[in-house]
Structure formats: C-alpha cells, structure tokens
C-alpha cells in the first residue's frame, strides 16, 4: 500500500515534532547530570532513542492506539530491556578502558621524564670523578711528582674509581627497579639480622665521620618475607644517607620493632632535617633537596650517587611495603613498613 505524499509529509512532520523535543530534553538532562553515576547516565542515554521513537510513532499515528502502534510499543519495550543492560556494561567497559589508557599515558610520560632527569643527573655526576682521575693520571704521566705525591694521587684514583663503581651499581639497581624487574626471593628474613649486617657495614664509616651509630632491637625476632640482600641494601642506603647529613658529634639510630600494622624499621638522625618543600619528592629519582650533605674533611668517605633513597623506596615497594620520611624535633626519620611473615 502506497502512502500519498501529503500523508507521508504529515507523518514525518508529526514524528519530528514529537521526537525532537525528547532528544533535546535528553541532551539537557545528560549535560546537567554530570554528578550522576555512570550506570544512571548510561540508562538515560539508552532511553533517549527508545522514548523518542515511541513518541514519534505515537505522533505519526495521530495519537491513536492502533494495532500497529501496540506492536511497535511491544518491540520498543523489548529493545529497551535488551539495550539498557548492554549499554551499562559497554559504558563501564569504555570508562575503565579510558582510565587504563590515561594511566598508561601518565606512566609513560612519568617514565620518560624520570629517564631524562636520570640521564642529566648521571652525566653531570660522572664528570666529577672522571675529571679527577684524568687530572691526576696526567700529573703522574708527566713524571714531575715525587714518590709521596704519586702514592697520594694513586689513592685518589682508587677512591674515585670506587665512587664510580658505586654509581654504576646504583644505576644498574635503579634500571631494574624502573623496569619492574625487582622480584624479591620469598624467604623468611629475620630483620634483626639484617639490622646487624647494616650496622656492621657502616660502623667504620660512621666513626670516621664522627657520628655515633647504634641499633635498638626488640626482644623477639621480627620476621618478614623477602630478600635479605635487598633489605640490607635498602636499610644501608637509609643509614648512609643519615650519616651523610649528620654533623660530627651527631647520632644515627636504627631501631626495629613490630605492631598491629606489621614490621617497622626506623632510621633517625640528628642532622639538619629535610626542608618541608622537599619531603614530597625526597624519594624521586635524581632529586636533590635544598639541604646538602655535611662537608667532611675525609674525602675517602663515600659521597654516594644520589640515587640511594630512590633505590631504597623501590626495594621496599617490591616487598609490598612502604617508605616514608618526616622531620623530628632534631633531624629526620625514615621509616620502613613491611608485612610480617606468618608464624607457620
């Protein structure tokens, strides 16, 4: 059956008159409903074309409940039952996908910025020991030095070589952390033994710096799951940093304990503390705060690569723990929190 042109035009006109306001109203509702949940927004979004179609058909039928209109209404109800749940699921999936993509982009940008800072930082810090080794080597090669001067310069070359070796080790560790390749061995580790190793490793350096280094251990052993080597490295970096920022006559204390929140290890010093503006970034790669290291007359004391705190934070995070820093009345405190190992 062919519909006359005049009737067809009238049907189209009534369909537009009845459906366009519904679409416009839906657009306004969506715009005003920014605070609604994603599920509610998707329901409204799916209902707009269904309701618009329903009103358009009603208008085209002359607002008469005909058999054709009843069939159309049944179809629209079925379509709504099918499309609304699908729209909600697809909307949630798209929202999660958008968030994931944004997180990936943010992570890539942060990694690139970190890489650039690290490259700039390393290129700057490698120049100092390399320039010292080159200058001393040239002096020795010129043959104008006495035996005593040659021995002193050879000692200087040794110290600078050790410093370069430590920097390379730190860079290698930092690259593994940035690549997510730090996977601790899941063994039971007694933190009191880790603390003993750390104190023994830094006792001589602390004495030469004129800093008192001591540890406070609980009566009962504190055990966690992880790698003893990695935990020794993390706490060693914190102790070395504390010694570097503590003036002669000061104290560095390494304390260990456990509470209802897990195991903890604290490194306290009596140094100059951390500038409040530096606290949020103190564990960033290649970040140096405004409070520098304490000058030492003994140049053989290791000065570090400047990556120690970032490495410590990465190793602790790999153990599903946290590392925080804050100021005390005198000095600063770095606190490591780790999950306790089960008793079985």
pLDDT one-digit tens code per residue, 21-58: 877 887 777 777 666 666 667 777 777 777 777 777 77
Provide the pLDDT for residue 344.
58
pLDDT at 144 over 50: yes
Give the residue, 166 or 259, on which the prediction is more confident. Answer: 259
The torsion defined by the Cα of 121, 124, 128 and 134, in degrees rounded to 10, comes to: 130
Provide the pLDDT for residue 3.
45
pTM, two decimal places: 0.58
Rounded Cα gap, residues 334 and 325, in angstroms:
5
3-state SS assignment for residue 184? coil
Kindly state the greatest CA–CA separation across the chain. 117
Over the stretch 215-248, which tens digit does the pLDDT of each residue have?
999 988 899 988 888 898 899 889 988 998 899 9
pLDDT at 2 over 50: no
pLDDT at 306 over 70: no
Long-range contacts of the stretch 195-204 (C-beta < 8 A, 24+): 195/235, 195/254, 195/256, 195/265, 197/228, 197/232, 198/232, 198/235, 198/236, 198/239, 198/254, 199/239, 199/254, 201/232, 201/236, 202/236, 202/239, 202/240, 202/243
Q: What is the mean pLDDT of residues 284-306?
A: 58
Domains along the chain? 5-102 (no CATH), 183-344 (3.30.565.10)
Rounded Cα gap, residues 340 and 225, in angstroms:
7
pLDDT band at 16 (very low <50, low <70, confident <90, very high): confident
Q: CA geometry: angle at 112 spanning 107 and 114, to 5°?
A: 95
Over the stretch 180-221, which tens digit does the pLDDT of each residue have?
656 656 788 999 999 999 999 899 889 988 999 999 999 888
Provide the pLDDT for residue 267.
96
């Amino acid at each position: 059956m062919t519909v006359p042109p005049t009737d067809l035009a009238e049907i189209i006109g009534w369909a537009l008159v009845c459906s366009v306001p519904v679409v416009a109203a839906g657009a306004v509702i969506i715009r005003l409903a920014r605070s609604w949940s994603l599920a509610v927004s998707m329901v409204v979004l799916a209902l707009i074309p269904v309701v618009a179609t329903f009103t358009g058909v009603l208008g085209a039928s002359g607002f008469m409940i005909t058999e054709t209109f009843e069939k159309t209404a049944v179809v629209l109800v079925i379509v709504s039952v099918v499309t609304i749940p699908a729209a909600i699921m697809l909307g949630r999936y798209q929202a999660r996908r958008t968030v994931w993509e944004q997180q990936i982009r943010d992570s890539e940008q942060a990694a690139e910025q970190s890489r650039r800072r690290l490259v700039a930082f390393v290129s700057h810090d490698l120049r100092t020991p390399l320039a010292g080794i080159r200058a001393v080597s040239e002096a020795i090669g010129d043959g104008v030095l006495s035996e005593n001067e040659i021995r002193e310069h050879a000692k200087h070359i040794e110290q600078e070589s050790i410093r370069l070796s430590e920097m390379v080790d730190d860079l290698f560790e930092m690259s593994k952390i940035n690549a997510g390749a730090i996977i601790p061995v899941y063994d039971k580790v007694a933190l009191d033994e880790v603390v003993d190793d750390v104190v023994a490793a830094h006792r001589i350096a602390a004495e030469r710096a004129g800093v008192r280094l001591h540890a406070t251990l609980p009566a009962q052993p504190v055990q966690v799951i992880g790698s003893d080597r990695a935990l020794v490295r993390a706490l060693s970096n914190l102790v070395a940093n504390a010694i570097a920022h503590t003036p002669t006559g000061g104290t560095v204390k390494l304390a260990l304990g456990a509470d209802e929140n897990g195991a903890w290890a604290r490194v306290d010093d009596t140094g100059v503390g951390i500038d409040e503006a530096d606290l949020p970034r103190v564990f960033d790669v290649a970040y140096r705060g405004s409070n520098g290291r304490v000058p030492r007359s003994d140049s053989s004391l290791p000065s570090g690569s400047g990556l120690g705190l970032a490495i410590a934070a990465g190793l602790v995070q790999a153990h599903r723990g946290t590392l925080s820093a804050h100021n005390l009345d005198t000095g600063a405190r770095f606190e490591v929190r780790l999950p306790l190992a089960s008793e079985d």
